[in-house]
Amino acid sequence: MNSIAEFLANKLSKRQVVDGSHTEGWAVCNRFPHAVVSPDNETQVAQILSLASAEGWVCVPSGKGTWLKGGHPPKAVDVVINMANMDHVSAYEPDDLFITTETGLGLDILSRYALDRGQWLPFDPPGVKGGSIGATISTASAGSLQAGFGRPRDHILGVTLATGDGRLLRLGGKVVKNVAGFDLLKLAIGSWGTLGVLTSVTVRLHPAPVLDRTLLFQGTDVSSAARLANAISRSRASFAAVEMITSGEQEDKGIYSLPFVAVRILEPLPVAEEITRIICEQVHATPFMCLEGKDSQLIFDDIQTMENNAEMVLRLSLLPSKLSNLVERTKELRELVDPNVDRGIRMAAHASTGVLRIMIARLNRRKGWLEMLASSLSNLRYLLESEGGSMVISQGPPEIVEIVGARGKLGSVTELMRGLQKEFDPSSILAPERIIG
Amino acid sequence: MPGSLAKSLEKKLKSIVGETGVILDRDRLLAYESDGLTAYRSLPMAVVFPRDTIEVSKVLGLLSKEDIPVVPRGAGTGLSGGALADDRSVMVATSLMNRILTIDSDNRIALVQPGVINADLTEAVSPFGLYYPPDPSSQSACTLGGNVAENSGGPHCLKYGVTSRYVIGITVVTYDGTISRFGGFGRELGGYDIVGLFVGSEGCFGIATEIEVCLLPKPEGAQTLLAIFDRLEDAGKAVTTIIADGLLPAALEIIDGPTIKAVEESIYAGGYPTDAEAALVIEFDGIKAGLSADIERTTVHCREANARDISTAESEKEREVLWQGRKKAFGAMGRIAPDLLVQDATVPRSTLPDVLRRISEIGQSYKLVVANVFHAGDGNLHPNILFDRSDPDEVERVELASKEIMAVCVEAGGTITGEHGVGLDKLSYMSLVHSREELEAMQVVKRVFDPKGNMNPGKVIPDLSEDFS
Ligand SMILES: Cc1cc2nc3c(=O)[nH]c(=O)nc-3n(C[C@H](O)[C@H](O)[C@H](O)COP(=O)(O)OP(=O)(O)OC[C@H]3O[C@@H](n4cnc5c(N)ncnc54)[C@H](O)[C@@H]3O)c2cc1C
C-alpha cells in the first residue's frame, strides 16, 4: 500500500480503501488516484476531507464512477472519494412529496423506489441510467425532461455538503419554499465537487405520469428538423420534452434513417390528445409515429444514453430560435470524425433550451489531429461565444480538453468564483480548476 | 459624516443622477422610513435614484470611497424590514430603472431593469400570449428587483415555482461599483450558479441592475373551486390529500375564519359565509380538456374532508368573485386593526392541520387575533397577527406569540420564512434553522461579494459574536 492508502486504511478500515495499484477503474480523466476510499457515512466523509486538507491531497468525489471521464480534467488526483456505500434512503414522505437519501444511490434505484409508490423524479441526465443522484446534482446534469419540468436545481430541496476542510453544512431543507438565508444550496448544485462532497440530498417528487406518449415527426434534413423542433417548442401546448435527433450518417435503418423530432407528452389521455392536436395544427405537420407506454419511454431512454459510447461529446448552444443556424455550424466537425466507425456523428438538440449535443463515436486520428481538433473546437467556441452562445466539451480525450478547456473562460468573474471556492475549500484540495479553469 | 451627506458628496451624486435624483429633506425621506413591515422604522441619510447600470456603478463607486453603507430599495413592499436604511446609510432606489429593455417572444425571454413592476411585465408580454409566472399578492406594486432579492413566490408558484426558476441572467453592481454579468439564456457557462445564489440575497451582495427572465405561454384555460369548511383543520387535511393524490393545482390557498370575517365586513365582501372556519380557493389551469377531471377529483377530496359547500367557476368574472376573499384579505385586515404583523413560515404540507391548530392555541393563549391566509399547497403559512402598536403590552404579546409560532413551524420540520425573507425581522430566528457554521458560511459568501460589509448591512445574518444555540 502507498502511504496515502495506508494512512486512510488506518484511520478508517482496510475494507474501505483501494490501493493505488488497483485504481485504474477510478481514473478521473485518465489521472490515476493513489487511493480510492469508500466512506460509510457523512462523518467519515468529513473526516477524510479534513485529513486531506491537512495533508494537501487532491480529492475528487465519485458516485457510481460511470462518468469520471467527464468534465475538465483535474491537474492531479490523490484520492477518489467513492460514495457507493452511502446509498441509504433516510426519509421518504409520500404525502409531502419528498425523499431524502444519501448521494451514492443510483438514479435508477431511486426512480424505481419512487415509482413503486406512484411517484416520480423528472431527472434524465445524459449517461448511464444507474449514475448516482449525487453526481447528477453535483454536475447539474439535465436531460430532455428539463423542457417540461425544469433543471435539477428546481427539484432539490436540500443537501448536506462536507466542505473541503471537513465542515458539514446542511443547505436548504425539506420544504418547497425556503428563503431563510442566502441560497448556498444553489452554489453547491453544479459545483462539480469543488466546494465539497454532497453526502445527502432531499429531492422533491412528482406524481407519476399516467400516460407516456411520444410523437415522432420526420425532418427532410437536419436544418428543417431543427426548425420544426423549435416551432413545436414554441407552441402553447405543454409537453415534457422536445428533441431533434439525427442518427449518424452511415446508418440507414428504420426510423433513424432521417433526422426526426421526438415530442414527449406526460399528461392524462384527454389532455395528451388535445396537445397532440394543438401541436399538429400549429406546425402543420403530422407525426409519422405515435408511441405510448414503454415504446415511448424507449425513445427517450435512447436519447438519454446516446452519449455513452462516444469518444467525444460537445454541447453547443445558442438561443433556441437559432437552432437551425447552430446545426449548420457543425458541418466542419464532420472532418474530425473517423469515417470508418458506424454512427460516426450523432446529434440531439433540446429544442427549448437551444442546446445541441454532438456525439462523435471516434475521432479521426490522422496526422496532426490533435492540433486540428484543438483549433477547430477553439474556433467554434469563439464563434458561438461571440453570438452569445457557448461550447462545452462534456467528455473527450483529456489532452484535448486540457488545451481547449471544458468550458469557455469565465472572464472578469473569475476572481469572484475563486473567492467563493476558497471559502469552502481553503487548502484547494478539491481540484478547483475543474470548474474555474 | 453620520447623519448628513457632505455637500461635496451631494454635488457629486447629483452630477451622476441629476438634481432631482437625490432626496435629502426629511419630509420627503419619510416615505422611505419603512417597508411593508411598519414595525421597523428609520430614516436614511439620503435616497438616490439612478437610471441605469452605469449610474448605479458610479453612485456605488462614490459611496464606497466614503465608506457609506448602501441599501437597495424597490417598491418598499417587503415584509421583513429588508429595505431599511439608517441615517448613516444611503438608499439606492430603483424606481427610475423601470424600463423593459427587450422582449424576445421567440425565445420567451425578457430583459428588464429592476424597478419594473411585476404585473407590468406580464401586461407587456401579454400581446405575445406570454406571461411572467411568479405572482406575489403585491404584484401590482412590487418590483422585479425586489422579487429577485427576496426570491418571491405567490399563489401560482405551487405549480410554476418561485422567482429563482425564472431568473436566468443578471447584471450586478457590487459595492465598489464593479459591474458583473452572470448567466444568460442560450449558453452554458462555467463556474458556479451565481444567478441562483444572488436570487434571495436580499440586497446584501449588490444591486441587480438588469434581470433576464423567462416567460411562459398563457394557459389555455383555468377553473377555480371554492370549498367552505366548518373546521380549519379539515381544510388543512383536504390540502394534504389533494397534493398526495397527485393533483397539481396552479394555486391552493387557505383563508381562515377571522380573515373571512374581515373581508366580509369590508367593502370587498365576496359572499363567503362568516360562520365558516376556513375557505379553500383552488385553481387548475392548462389545457381546457383536462380541467374538469381535476376539479372533480378535488371536489371528492374536499367532500371527504367535510367541506360543507363547494362552488366552481370557469369564466374570468366568476373566478374573480371566488378569488375576492383571498386577494383582498390584507386590505380588509387593515380596516379592523391598526397594525398587522404578517408572519411567514413554511411547513411540510402534511403537518398543516396540526400546525394550524397549534397556531390557533398560541393566539388564544396570548389573547391575540391570528388571521391565516396563505399558500397552503406549498405549506407556506402566513399567520397574521392583528394588534395595536400603541399598546405596549399587546406589542410584547405579539412578539412572544411570533416566537412560539416560529418554533412550532421549525419543530414540524419547516423553516422560518418561505418567501418574505429574513431582513431584520427574522434575524433572531435564524439560529432555529441554521448552525453557527452554516451562518458563518453565509457570512463568508457575503464577504466575497461585499468585503467591507456595507451592502444592506445588518440584514439576514445575525450577530455571530452573540452566543446562541
Ligand atoms: C400586501 C402584500 C402582499 C404580499 N404578498 C407576497 C406574496 O404573495 N409573495 C411574496 O413572496 N411576497 C409578498 N409580499 C412581500 C413583497 O411584496 C415581496 O417581498 C417583494 O418582492 C418586494 O419587492 P419590492 O420591490 O417592494 O422590494 P423592497 O421592499 O423595496 O425590497 C425588498 C428587499 O430587496 C432588496 N432589493 C430591492 N431591489 C433590489 C435590487 N435591484 N437589487 C438588490 N436588492 C434589491 C432590498 O434591499 C430589500 O432587502 C407581499 C407584500 C405585501 C405588502
Residue B110 sits in a domain whose CATH number is: 3.30.465.10
Choose the weakest-confidence range: A100-114, A222-236, A339-353, B173-187: A339-353
A274 Cβ under 8 Å from any chain B Cβ? yes
Of A154, A208, A392, the CB nearest to B188: A392
Residues in A touching B170 (Cβ below 8 Å) = none
Residue of B nearest to A425 (CA): B441
B324 shares a domain with B249: yes
| Domain final residue pick, B164, B189, B217 | B217
Q: Which residues of chain B make contact with A275, given a CB cutoff of 8 A?
A: 287
Query: Ligand 1 pocket test: which of B49, B70, B142 has the largest number of ligand atoms within 8 Å of its C-beta?
Result: B142
- What percent of chain B is predicted at pLDDT more than 90? 85
> Is pLDDT of A367 > 60?
yes
Residue nearest to atom 41 of ligand 1 (CA): B145
- Alpha carbon of B144 to ligand 1 centroid (Å): 8
pLDDT at B467: 66
CB contact under 8 Å between B287 and A355, yes or no, is no
Does the CB of A267 have a partner CB in chain B at under 8 Å? yes
Query: Model confidence over A369-412: pLDDT tens digits?
Result: 999 999 999 999 999 999 999 999 999 999 999 999 999 998 88
Three-class DSSP category at B87: coil
Q: Is A426 near chain B, with CB under 8 Å? A: no
Indicate whether B69 and B109 sit together in one domain. no
Which of B192, B217, B242 finishes a domain?
A: B217
B361 with B417, same domain?
yes
Please check the confidence at residue B293 and state whether its pLDDT lies above 50.
Answer: yes
Band of the pLDDT at A252, cuts 50, 70, 90? Answer: very low
pLDDT band at B335 (very low <50, low <70, confident <90, very high): confident
Residue B468 lies in a domain: no
* Cβ distance of B438 and A170 shorter than 8 Å: yes
Residues B154 and B178 in one domain: yes
How far, rounded to the nearest angstrom, does the alpha carbon of residue A417 sit from its chain's CA centroid?
A: 21
Q: What percent of chain A has pLDDT over 90?
A: 81
* CA angle A428–A429–A430, rounded 5-degree value: 95
Q: Quick check: CB of B172 below 6 Å from ligand 1? A: no
The answer to whether residue B24 is domain-embedded is yes
pLDDT in tens, A150-199: 999 999 999 999 999 999 999 999 999 999 999 999 999 999 999 999 99
Condensed to tens digits (0 to 9), the pLDDT of residues B111-148 reads: 999 999 999 999 999 999 999 999 999 999 999 999 99
Query: To the nearest whole number, what is the mean pLDDT of chain A?
Result: 92
- Could you report the per-residue pLDDT of B255-265, keeping only the tens digit for each? 999 999 999 98
- Mutate which of B60, B92, B144, B150 for ligand 1? The one with the most ligand atoms within 8 Å of its CB, which is B150
- Closest residue in B to A210 (Cα) is B246
Half-sphere exposure of A283 (CA within 13 A, CB side): 28
Q: Which chain A residues in 28-87 lie under 8 Å from chain B, judged by CB atoms? A: none
Q: What is the pLDDT of residue B330?
A: 81
Closest CA to A408 of A315, A282, A312, A291: A315
pLDDT band at B314 (very low <50, low <70, confident <90, very high): confident
Residue B348 and residue B417 share a domain = yes
How confident is the model over A234-254, as a mean pLDDT? 78
Best residue of A141, A159, A182, A420 to probe chain B, by most B CBs closer than 10 Å: A182
- The CA distance from A54 to the nearest CA of chain B, in Å, is 19
Of B161, B180, B190, the CB nearest to A412: B180
The pLDDT value given to residue B25:
92
Atom of ligand 1 nearest to the CA of B144: 25
- Whether residue A362 has pLDDT greater than 60: yes
% pLDDT > 70, chain B:
99
Q: Answer whether residue B447 is part of any domain.
A: no
User: Which residues, in sequence order, are CB contacts of B122 under 8 Å at separation 6+?
Assistant: B131, B132, B135, B139
List of domains in chain A: 3-84+425-436 (3.30.43.10), 89-207 (3.30.465.10), 213-396 (3.40.462.10)
The predicted structure's pLDDT at residue A254: 46
Q: Are residues B88 and B131 in the same domain?
A: no
Number of CB atoms found within 10 A of residue A362's CB: 19
CA pair distance A37, A197, nearest whole angstrom: 13
Residue B411: inside a domain, yes or no? Answer: yes
Q: Are residues B121 and B201 in the same domain?
A: yes
Centre of ligand 1 to C-alpha A33, Å, is: 49
Give me the CATH number covering residue B372: 3.30.70.2740
Ligand 1 center to residue B390 CA distance, Å?
A: 26
Question: pLDDT per residue over A81-137, tens digit each?
Answer: 999 999 999 999 998 999 999 999 999 999 999 999 999 999 999 988 889 999 999
Convert the pLDDT of each residue in B48-76 to its tens digit: 999 999 999 999 999 999 999 999 999 99
In angstroms, rounded to a whole number, what is the distance separating the alpha carbons of residues B411 and A67? 40
Atom of ligand 1 nearest to the CA of B459: 49
What is the CATH classification number for the domain harbouring B33? 3.30.43.10
Q: Tell whether B375 and B299 lie within a shared domain.
A: no
Kindly tell me if the per-residue pLDDT of A255 is higher than 50: no
B62 is a domain residue: yes
| Close Cβ partners of B352 (under 8 Å, ≥ 6 residues apart) | B236, B237, B239, B240, B376, B379, B381
How far is B340 from B354, CA to CA, in rounded Å?
A: 24
- Regarding the beta carbon of B77 and ligand 1, being less than 6 Å apart is answered yes
Is A100:A92 a contact under the CB 8 Å cutoff? yes
CA distances in angstroms from B257 to A39, B231, B325, listed in the order given = 53, 9, 11
How high does pLDDT run on average in chain B?
94
Question: Are residue B245 and residue B193 in the same domain, yes or no?
Answer: no
Ligand 1 atom nearest the C-alpha of B35 is: 29
pLDDT at residue B320 tops 90: no
Task: Answer yes or no: do B324 and B400 share one domain.
Answer: no
Residue B416 located in a structural domain: yes
B200 lines ligand 1 (CB under 6 A): no
pLDDT confidence band for A249 (50 / 70 / 90)? low
Check whether residue B140 and residue B177 sit in a common domain: yes
Distances in Å between the alpha carbon of B308 and those of B151, B300, B320, B375, B376?
36, 12, 21, 21, 19
> Is B192's CB within 8 Å of A317's CB?
no
Residue of B161, B437, B442 with shortest CB distance to A181: B442
CA distance A323 to A103: 35
A414 to chain B: nearest residue by CA?
Answer: B191
Between CA A57 and CA A194 the distance in angstroms is 13
pLDDT for position A253? 47
Q: Which of B93, B109, B139 is the last residue of a domain?
A: B93
Q: Is A173 on the interface with B (CB under 8 A)?
A: yes
Between the ranges A15-24, A252-261, B302-311, where is the mean pLDDT highest?
B302-311
C-alpha cell at B426: 427574522
* Cell numbers found for residue A178: 425556503
Task: List the alpha helices (DSSP H) in A150-249.
Answer: 184-188, 222-233
Contacts 24+ apart (CB under 8 A), A409-418: A409/A437, A409/B190, A410/A436, A410/A437, A410/B189, A410/B190, A410/B191, A412/B180, A413/B180, A413/B181, A413/B182, A413/B191, A413/B194, A414/B191, A416/B180, A416/B194, A416/B448, A416/B449, A417/B191, A417/B192, A417/B194
Ligand 1, closest atom to CA B418?
11
Q: How confident is the model at residue A431 (pLDDT cuts 50, 70, 90)?
A: very high
In chain A, whose CA is at the least distance from the CA of B131? A236
Rg of chain A taking only CA atoms, in angstroms = 22
| Residue B441 to residue A424: CA distance in whole angstroms | 8
Residue B333: predicted pLDDT? 84
Are residues B187 and B88 part of one domain?
Answer: no
The total number of structural domains that make up chain B: 4
Domain residue limits at B302: 220-332
Which atom of ligand 1 has the smallest separation from the CA of B419? Answer: 11
Q: Taking CB atoms and an 8 Å limit, are B379 and A176 in contact across chains?
A: yes
Distance from CA of B275 to the nearest CA of A (A): 30
Task: Give tens-digit pLDDT for A290-348.
Answer: 999 999 999 999 999 999 889 999 999 999 999 999 998 888 888 888 888 777 889 99
Distance between Cα B378 and ligand 1 center (Å): 19
pLDDT band at B468 (very low <50, low <70, confident <90, very high): low
Residue A337 DSSP symbol: B
Residue B138, min C-alpha distance to chain A (Å): 18
Identify all chain A residues contacting B193, using CB atoms and an 8 Å cutoff. 140, 153, 186-187, 189-190
Q: Are strands A260-265 and A89-93 parallel, antiparallel or unpaired?
A: unpaired
The CB density around residue A172, as the number of other CB atoms within 10 Å, is 22
Cβ-Cβ contacts under 8 Å, A182 against chain B: 197, 200-201, 204, 442, 445-446, 460
Residue numbers in A near B446 (CB within 8 A)? 182
CA pair distance B277, B208, nearest whole angstrom? 42
Q: Is position B469 within any domain?
A: no
The pLDDT score that the predictor gives to residue A257 is 58
Report if residue B395 sits inside a domain.
yes
